[in-house]
Chain A
Amino acid sequence: MNIESLIFYGVPIYLIVMGILVILTTKNLFKMLLGLSIMDSGINILIVALGYIKGATAPIYSRYPEVFEKVVDPVPQALVLTAIVIGIAFLGLGLALVIRIKEKYGTVNVEKLKELKW
């Protein structure tokens, strides 16, 4: 395991674990959504890192074949864009729900939302 792959895989995995920890430990709904967002970023970075090839350039069409020869895998980069958009959609929806909960209950603390426990 060299230092490069440690950075490429270590950082996103750290972000994912941090996000999950935030979701599990916090009582605040808003912070929970932030944790989800951190986890999402971690996963997106990990996906881009999976498609990385050492020393390659961006996958953009070029007239000079020697530039075009060595590019990183374009598929993860293209698909991560979709994943980012989806992530924004659920974050927006989640924040809207949190605002509505704040209006109804007057709090965003999970422990005080006790309408429907087991």
Chain B
Amino acid sequence: MVNPILIIALLLLFAFLMPLLGLLHRRLPAFATLILPAFNLYVAVNHFLKMDFIPVVIKTGGFRPPFGINLAVDHFSLFFLILVNAIGVFIALSYLLEEQDYRFHILFLLNLLGASGIILTGDLFNSFVFLEILAISSYALAGSRKEKPALEGAIKYLIIGSIGASFYLLGVFILYKVTGTLNIADIALKLQNAKSGIVYLAGMFMLVGLFVETELFPLNTWAPDVYQGAYNRIAVQFSSLISKAAIYLLFRITFLIFDDPLFYKLLLVVGLLTFVVAEFNALAQKDLKRMLGYSSIGQMGLAVLAFALYGMISHPEAFFAATLLIVNHAIAKALLFANMDNMSENATIDIRSVNPFSSLMFAIGALSVMGFPFTLGFWAKIEILGILLRTNLLFLFFLIILIFMVEAFYYFRVITNLFRGETVCRRLNPLLAFSLVVFSIFLVYQGFYPIFTFSWLNRALNALLNKAIYISIIAGGL
């Protein structure tokens, strides 16, 4: 098996080599950006299928954990690695033939590097470094379009994002001061029984830092602006790659280190507020991309809400629903945002003239996001509702049903407009059309017969939920 550290090393190497590749041939950078995520995907799938139940520790620099920096790979991290790199392949393949500056490809690779690094690392400070690589490259990507809305969204994102990252760093060092280590598993081991007030403070700082990238309520004002202003391919990256890597880190550190009712209550409130506020805002939007952006924020809120429910009532099904929701949202939103390339610039919700192919793609993506039966999203949402019913949280149940109806209303409004309007023949980008078809077939096929997704997801969650094994293998490996 290939050593997963190559994922990080090769991405970094090729990001450096990009100007040289651009000199050799102007098409070469685009092909390199396709080959690298594909290679990562191969490595991740290979490990996922062949690995035992036990997490694998990859030492860097020859020190055994808890000393030095290590990568900790288990099925849960591999699952997210597969998801993130599949989205990377999707973006690179769809826009392979598009003329782009090589600097754009450097940013794309750095972004993927940050996302993969966050997922693979077993060290808290290292996770901060990768988070910053992810964040700084995404500020640059958000501002890469030299138009007013994009710049405005980017500067907002930069200011909020760097405040959040500073707080994350502060939290990491408070934990270091308390426990004397930076290894995630080792910190979890040392904080298992005794949690002092300062640990709660550190937890608050770190979670607030992560709220920015995961687009949660008080710190997500940048997100709709960025979604509206940036290019479509960058909107795909924001909704399906960047926020997904960040939410992995949120799940991992909350579950391992801050496994405490207080934090779950915080996440429950924040997730619910994000979900409600964002969905009602989406209802009021005129611009189609901005509406999709608000819907993205809402889905992230719902995923965090389901995760917090898991912490409160410890039903593993809630965690299952949260992760399934993330997978569904990543794929469906990639479909929706990439499909915006087939529509006119600045499309509003009253858009009437599109080609039938893109109306169909929009419909499949939207149905899956809103959880219509026979799409992947249905299984996630029905799971959440089922848990709420079984645990008698009726108020939450009816509130979420109401929000689902709001969501269905604004999506159906656009879908009916699309299908009632006149059809235009527009030249489609063949590669983009191909990857759209692949993703939409995946959503529908998994909606009918979700065994594949379910079995992989169960394997991933089994690895995560066995906290004791993870901690003993990684921290107790001396």
Contact = CB atoms under 8 A, between A and B. Distances in A.
Given A86-B129, A90-B139, A116-B228, A75 B176 contact: yes
A100 interface: yes
A69 B146 CA distance: 57
B389 to A, nearest CB: 35
Contacts of B158: 90, 93-94, 97
Contacts of A75: 176, 182
The size bracket of the interface on B is: 35 or more
A50 B176 contact: yes
B153 interface: yes
Identify whether the interface residues of A are mostly helix, strand, loop, or mixed. Answer: helix
B177 A50 contact: yes
B415 interface: no
Contacts of A50: 173-174, 176-177
A43 B143 contact: no
Nearest to B170: A43
Interface in B143-169: 143, 146-149, 151-155, 158-159, 162-163, 165-166, 169
A118 B153 CA distance: 12
A69 B136 CA distance: 40
Contact of A113 (B147, B152, B165, B174): B152
A47 B166 CA distance: 11
Contacts of A36: 159, 162-163, 166
B163 A100 contact: no
B347 to A, nearest CB: 16
A27 B177 CA distance: 36
Given A76-B176, A93-B139, A101 B151 contact: yes
Interface string B263-297: 00000000000000000010000000000000000
A100 B152 contact: no
Q: Which of B146, B166, B228 has the most CB of A within 10 A?
A: B166
Contact of B166 (A32, A40, A94, A97): A40
A25 B132 CA distance: 26
Contacts of B163: 20, 23, 36, 39
B169 A43 contact: yes
A86 B132 contact: yes
A94 B155 contact: yes
A97 B153 CA distance: 11
Given A36-B163, A86-B129, A116-B228, A97 B155 contact: yes
A105 B176 contact: no
B143 A100 contact: yes
Contacts of B139: 90, 93-94, 97
B166 A116 contact: no
Contacts of B159: 23, 32-33, 36, 94
A105 B148 contact: yes
Contact of B155 (A20, A79, A101, A118): A101
Contacts of A32: 159
A60 interface: no
A72 interface: no
A39 B182 contact: no
Contact of A104 (B148, B162, B225): B148
Contacts of B147: 104
B343 interface: no
Interface string A60-95: 000000000000000110010011001001100110
Contacts of B37: none
A18 interface: no
Interface string B107-127: 000000000000000000100
B155 A29 contact: yes
A90 B151 CA distance: 15
7 contacts: A36-B162, A36-B166, A46-B170, A82-B125, A89-B136, A94-B155, A94-B162
Interface of B: 125, 128-129, 132, 135-136, 139-140, 143, 146-149, 151-155, 158-159, 162-163, 165-166, 169-170, 173-174, 176-177, 182, 224-225, 228-229, 281
Given A86-B129, A90-B139, A116-B224, 6 more contacts: A29-B155, A39-B163, A46-B170, A50-B177, A86-B132, A89-B136
